Structure 1
């Protein structure tokens, strides 16, 4: 080795020593800091303040259910003629208001009027025959009393009188039937209401029974709801209820609860009479709120009390303060199963006990075994729980 290399190494030696001293000092500081943290246990840390709620165990819970129905008129009919013919007059338009007994439409009655006149003439003829038969019978009776006519002749005149009387009754009945047919050629409003449909105009030839005009009653409307059979008993006849129609709340009274279950839907219809027809029309959709009871042991908790556990399960953090250290204790994790949630609160079942205290917020910042102390629950939390 040359003298030059020896001198160079000698000059670098102080630098190496300085670096080694620096590294040794840094390691010593890190080890001291680690030992200091290690000696500071969780029991020595300042407890974190958390908001708690007490567990109230229940044997059942209720969930809301909305039942949909339609507004309808208590009276609604499609009017038709009971005979065929040509429509000669339609006196109303859609939307017209009508009163009971108003004439709505007429059929052509020329043929019926002609038959009526024919029957009237026939009635006059048979009445004349009846009068003649009565005169003959009276004359024959007088002659028989005077022994100038036989009893057989009296029987013949009496029979002729009876035939004439029967003929008068027959034609009178036919004339009455014709009058009824003429009256049935006119459509009358069966009740006060509004015309909701006009299906034919003048000149149309229709068959018997074909709908011509629709009329809807102006009486207070009703709503028909198909209610699941397991909750239909919640709605008692005479009970006041509130329905939602569009953006409005509508008051009504349960008027009927049908005893027959619908074959297709397996539901039971109830009818609700509306207090007022304001802002509603037949055909509007109505929503009636109810509730369904579920038999299940568990408790209501705010959704904020839930956190993700292992294998996709949910967990809650329960305060264990058996030592009674002024509300200070350690957290324990409990696995729970969410049975139902409405977005703000959840009904859960699992390893929970009555009056245990559960953390209701900030669970993502906490861990089992951590020391915490009870904070003050907000008023919103109390209102949230059922």
Structure 2
């Protein structure tokens, strides 16, 4: 009897090993194929109104203004505040300033001199006016007794009128000089937070030079845009609830302004919701979210999430949902044809063999077929 050669024994061992690996791989593949697919579900519900639509809003101050100078000159003083690290420093962004605070002062010397010149001119004009008045009274008395001629009377009257006009002009110049001197002081028109400071000591400023930006955040506004299909649901004074990631609780606000026209680029209408901010917790630039309540339906209807809708493989142009049958995490998927109605937000009316309270599969629904076992995850 011939014994198998070494080559035959190696070939036999290799074949056996390959078969064992193939069998093991098939077992693993079959085991993986039988694992239930994890899915999410949602409950079929009866709705009587459109679901609320969420919008993202931007928090802005109730009022924010750029404070500009009206007088020319060099900045010789900036309002001083206490420095947390000690000492004092120039007021800067993030500082709170009360109403009427002089934030910056332009060099006043030129304006003081102009005021003094106007006052001197007024004094000179008043002296000339007093002289002209006495002259007119004297000529007028002589003219009444026919001791002065009509031209003398007219000349005295004209001189009196001229000096009267000069006094009025000098008074106007004084008023103008005082206003210009007052404009050397740039004051805060309301209490608020400094958003920006654009000048330093020695800066040369002029009319319309922006020195500071001041924001009133005692109350703030949430600004968002809505399309024309929703604008009819928003009205002035309407109560809305605003949520932000920065605050653990929601904030109540009321619609304070609605744009009468849509933005030409985005085609949405701007809406402002004003809310109190006594603790200054809401900052300008924060992102907030709010919901606008949907419209009432004519009659209640069953609705399912749009994500649950699939094509019905048994009907051309038909639709269906996969219901989850069973109790617990492991359930069976069952195909249920439905007739679709109107959409309301992320929900759609579904008519067919489903009832309120049933569960429909919303994720992974296209990867399963009717009768498959699935695992429901939270």
93-102 vs 353-362, which deviates more? 353-362
The DSSP-based 3-state class of the residue aligned with 2:219 is coil
Q: How many residues align?
A: 301
Please, which of 243, 263, 288 is the counterpart of residue 286 of structure 1?
288
Question: In the alignment, is residue 300 of structure 1 matched against residue 298 of structure 2?
Answer: no
The corresponding residue for 2:266 is 265
Question: How far has the Cα of 1:315 moved from its partner?
Answer: 4.2
Structure-to-structure mapping, 1:197-236, within 5 angstroms: 197-236=196-235
The corresponding residue for 1:323 is none
Greater share of residues in helix: 1
Q: Contact conserved, 2:45 with 2:304, CA < 8 A, in 1?
A: no
Deviations 1:11-32 (A, max 9, x none): xxxxxxxxxxxxxxxxxxxxxx
- The alignment's TM-score, normalised by the length of structure 2, stands at 0.66
Q: Contact conserved, 1:231 with 1:291, CA < 8 A, in 2?
A: no
The DSSP-based 3-state class of the residue aligned with 2:177 is helix
Q: Which runs of 5+ in 1 are unaligned?
A: 1-52, 319-330, 368-379
Q: Contact conserved, 1:71 with 1:223, CA < 8 A, in 2?
A: yes
Question: How far has the Cα of 1:316 moved from its partner?
Answer: 5.0
Deviations 1:56-108 (A, max 9, x none): 999x9845532111111111111001233211111133222222222111111
* Distance verdict in 2 for CA 1:340–1:90, change over 3 Å: same
The corresponding residue for 1:84 is 72
Question: In the alignment, is residue 251 of structure 1 matched against residue 252 of structure 2?
Answer: yes
Question: How far has the Cα of 1:210 moved from its partner?
Answer: 1.6
Deviations 1:247-292 (A, max 9, x none): 5322222222232222221111211121445431111111112366
Please, which of 328, 334, 339 is the counterpart of residue 337 of structure 2?
334
* Distance verdict in 2 for CA 1:220–1:157, change over 3 Å: same
Q: Which runs of 5+ in 2 are unaligned?
A: 1-41, 80-90, 324-333
* Distance verdict in 2 for CA 1:138–1:186, change over 3 Å: same
Deviations 1:213-238 (A, max 9, x none): 11111421121111122112223332
Question: How far has the Cα of 1:204 moved from its partner?
Answer: 0.3
* Distance verdict in 2 for CA 1:298–1:349, change over 3 Å: farther
Q: In angstroms, what is the RMSD of aligned CA positions?
A: 4.1
Question: How far has the Cα of 1:302 moved from its partner?
Answer: 7.6
- The alignment's TM-score, normalised by the length of structure 1, stands at 0.65
Question: How far has the Cα of 1:148 moved from its partner?
Answer: 2.5
Aligned-partner Cα distance in 2 for 1:334–1:102:
72
* Distance verdict in 2 for CA 1:96–1:84, change over 3 Å: same
* Distance verdict in 2 for CA 1:179–1:72, change over 3 Å: same
Q: Contact conserved, 1:87 with 1:107, CA < 8 A, in 2?
A: yes
Aligned-partner Cα distance in 2 for 1:99–1:290:
37
Q: Contact conserved, 1:71 with 1:221, CA < 8 A, in 2?
A: yes
Aligned-partner Cα distance in 1 for 2:168–2:109:
25
Please, which of 363, 366, 373 is the counterpart of residue 371 of structure 2?
366
The DSSP-based 3-state class of the residue aligned with 1:259 is coil
